[in-house]
Amino acid sequence: MLLFVGLGNPTPDSENNRHNVGFKIIDSINKKFNLSKQKPKFKGLLTTGNIADKKIYAIKPLTFMNNSGICIRELIEYFKIDAEDVIVFHDDLDIEFGKIKAKFGGSDAGHNGIASIDKFIGKDYSRVRIGIGKPKGDIEVADYVLQNFDEEEFLSIEKITKNITDSMSILIEKKLDLFSSTVNNK
């Protein structure tokens, strides 16, 4: 049993923000693998199903980015999911736009969604970090992550999302280095 978590903010005007790339990944997984219809549960939108004979729960927290851990803790306690079986998809400023890095554990690196999850379940879970690059010019980081992708970036994110879902069998096996390499070389 695995829990996939996509980080983002639940408002309609946030849908195409850089900060919402985790939600886009969960939507893509739900569609590709025909997971159940999203239902509001555990302060998030929850879907369930099977991928490669593995029971999967996938959630988009509705608690807003900075409180994502509240939703995750409720869900893992209810279904008795170990933190080691949680995989979080989120944006990362410190990674070149369009690159993916998957890892187990580590610091929050200033990402408030990850800091919230760390606070509620600890650091022993996997993260799929989607590079959104750093802001250019005088724009503040908080403003940058809440901006929509431009048209070119949006097309790139669509391709990355497809590459991630196409490589899901590797991720489910928690072969994080191989997953990163496979996704980045497609």
Span 132-148, pLDDT tens digits:
999 988 999 999 999 99
- Give the confidence band of 10 by pLDDT, cuts at 50, 70, 90: very high
pLDDT tens per residue, range 152-178: 999 999 999 999 999 999 999 999 999
pLDDT at 98 exceeding the cut of 90: yes
CB 102 within 8 A of CB 129: yes
Does the pTM surpass 0.95? The reply is yes
pLDDT for 173: 95
pLDDT for 136: 86
Residue of 18, 19, 43, 73 with catalytic role:
19
pLDDT for 151: 93
Q: How far apart are CA 54 and CA 171, in angstroms?
A: 12
Q: Can you list the domains of the chain with their CATH numbers?
A: 2-184 (3.40.50.1470)
pLDDT for 186: 83
**90: annotated active-site residue:** no
Angle at 129 between CA 111 and CA 110, to 5 degrees: 15
- State the DSSP H helix or E strand holding residue 141, giving kind and residue range, or none if neither: helix 141-145
Structure tokens at 180: 């990163």
Q: Residue 134: what are its φ and ψ, rounded to 5°?
A: -95, 155
pLDDT tens per residue, range 18-75: 999 999 999 999 999 999 999 999 999 999 999 989 999 999 999 999 999 999 999 9
The sign of the dihedral angle between the CA atoms of 124, 4, 162, 50 is positive
The sign of the dihedral angle between the CA atoms of 47, 51, 56, 60 is negative
Q: Count the Cβ atoms, other than its own, within 10 Å of residue 162.
A: 14
The DSSP bridge partners found for residue 58 are 4, 47
**Which residues touch 174 (CB under 8 Å, ≥6 apart)?**
104, 126
